[in-house]
Amino acid sequence: GPTDGFPAAVRHRTMKRSRETVPALHALKKMKVNELKDWCTDLGVRKQGLKADLIAALDAARTTTSTSTSSHYQPPPAARTPVHHGAAAGVQHKTSPGAYRSLVPTPQGKKSPGATFFEKYASESDPKRMDLGGFVKLGLELAGGDEERSLTPQHTALLFYLCWKMKAKGFGELTLEGFTAGCDAIKCFSVDEIRNKAPTLLREVSGGKVDPSRAASSEQSFQAFHSFVYDMLRPEGKKYIEKEMAMLALQAIFLGLEGRESRHIELFVKFLTAREKLEILNNDQWKGFLQFSRDVDAAFSGYSDADPWPSLLDDFVTWAKEQAEWKEAHPSPL
C-alpha cells in the first residue's frame, strides 16, 4: 500500500489526518521524516526538502485553513545546473544605504534597522525569536516569490549562508540578537538588499578562482561554513545528520557555491539514494566527501582503497565504476 515501508506506528494509525489534527510543533519535531511525509501526503502539502521544511509546512497547515506561501517553499529536491554570476554582479558600493545604515548609531529607544527588518518574520509567541515558519517566509521573499528559483541549490546555499552569519542554532531558528548582528555584518537590512548583494556575499565562501585576491580568506571561511552546516543540521544531541538532509545540503554546497563545484556530487547523490538502508551520515563522511572532491578526479585516479577514506567512499567508488554513465565517460583501454 502507499505506506509500505513506513514505521508500523504510522501504518496503523487510525486518527483521521486533517489540518485540524496536525500535531503541535514540539510533536512534529520528534517525528521521523517518513512520518512527516505521510502527514504531508494526506494533507496535500508538498513533501520535498529538509525535515525542517516538512515541519514548517505542516505547522503552517495547522495554523491556517488556507494554503499559505510559507507552506510551499522548499529547498531543492534535486541537483540543478549551477548559476554562474558575472564578476560585477551584485557589487555594492561602499556608500550604499546598507553600508551607511550599519555605521549610523541607533538613537536610544529607537529600533535598529536590523531589528525593524526582523519584526516581519518574528514568532508571534516570542518577538525576540524567529522560528522556521518565519524563516521560510523570508526565504520565499528572497526568491521573489518564485518557487522554481527557491528550489535551486544556489538559493539554499544563500539561506545556509544567512544562518551562518546570523548564528542560527538550527535551520531557520534565529534570535533577534543574532539576526541583527548578522545584518550588521553583511550590511543588509531588507530583502532587496540581500537579494541584490547575494553574489557578492557568497564570495566569502566561494572558491579562489572566483576572487583570487580573497582565496586564502575564503578558504578559511568556507571550512568554518562547511562545519557549521553539518552542526546546524544535526538533530539535538546526535552525532549525525539524516541522509535526506545531507543530500540536499551537499547539493547546495557543491552545486550552489560558485567555485566549490564537485565533479562527484551528482553521482554521489545517486549512490546515497540507491543505498536505501543508509539513513545517516556522520562527520567523518561529511568531511571525507569534501576532501575526496578535492583529491580525486572524475576517473578516480588519485584514489586508492589503501588510503584511509571512510568506508562509505570506498563503497561509492566500487558502485560508481559499475554504472553505465561512468563507464561511458571513462572507457577501459583496449
Distance CA 46, CA 54 (A): 8
* Per-residue confidence (pLDDT) for residue 88, from 0 to 100: 39
Convert the pLDDT of each residue in 254-291 to its tens digit.
999 999 999 999 999 999 999 999 999 999 999 999 99
The letter for the amino acid at 276 is E
Convert the pLDDT of each residue in 140-185 to its tens digit.
999 999 988 888 999 999 999 999 999 999 999 999 999 999 999 9
Q: What is the mean pLDDT of the chain?
A: 82
Report, as an integer, the average pLDDT of 301-316.
Answer: 94
Q: Is it the case that residue 23 has pLDDT exceeding 70?
A: yes
Find the range with the poorest average confidence among 18-32, 177-191, 241-255: 18-32
* Per-residue confidence (pLDDT) for residue 103, from 0 to 100: 55
* Per-residue confidence (pLDDT) for residue 9, from 0 to 100: 30
* Per-residue confidence (pLDDT) for residue 57, from 0 to 100: 82
Q: What is the DSSP letter of 143?
A: T
User: Can you give the residue ranges of every domain in the chain?
Assistant: 8-71, 97-202, 232-329
Find the range with the poorest average confidence among 35-44, 209-218, 267-276: 209-218
CA-CA distances (angstroms) from residue 7 to 38, 107, 175?
Answer: 10, 56, 35
Overall pTM surpassing 0.75 (yes/no): no
Q: Is it the case that residue 77 has pLDDT exceeding 70?
A: no
Instruction: Tell me whether domains 97-202 and 232-329 share a fold.
Output: yes
* Per-residue confidence (pLDDT) for residue 81, from 0 to 100: 42
Convert the pLDDT of each residue in 42-75 to its tens digit.
777 776 777 888 888 888 877 764 444 444 445 5
Give the end-to-end CA distance of the chain in Å, rounded to a whole number.
49
* Per-residue confidence (pLDDT) for residue 210, from 0 to 100: 63
* Per-residue confidence (pLDDT) for residue 17, from 0 to 100: 66
Q: Higher model confidence: residue 15 or residue 251?
A: 251
* Per-residue confidence (pLDDT) for residue 12, from 0 to 100: 34
Q: Higher model confidence: residue 19 or residue 253?
A: 253
Convert the pLDDT of each residue in 219-248 to its tens digit.
899 999 999 999 999 999 999 999 999 999
Matching CATH number, 232-329, of 3.40.50.620, 1.10.645.10, 1.10.10.410, 1.10.238.200: 1.10.238.200
Q: Higher model confidence: residue 264 or residue 327?
A: 264
* Per-residue confidence (pLDDT) for residue 44, from 0 to 100: 78
* Per-residue confidence (pLDDT) for residue 107, from 0 to 100: 58
For the 97-202 domain, the top CATH level (class) is mainly alpha
Q: What is the 3-state secondary structure (H, E, C) of 7-62?
A: CHHHHCCCCCCCHHHCCCHHHHHHCCHHHHHHHHHHHCCCCCCCHHHHHHHHHHHH
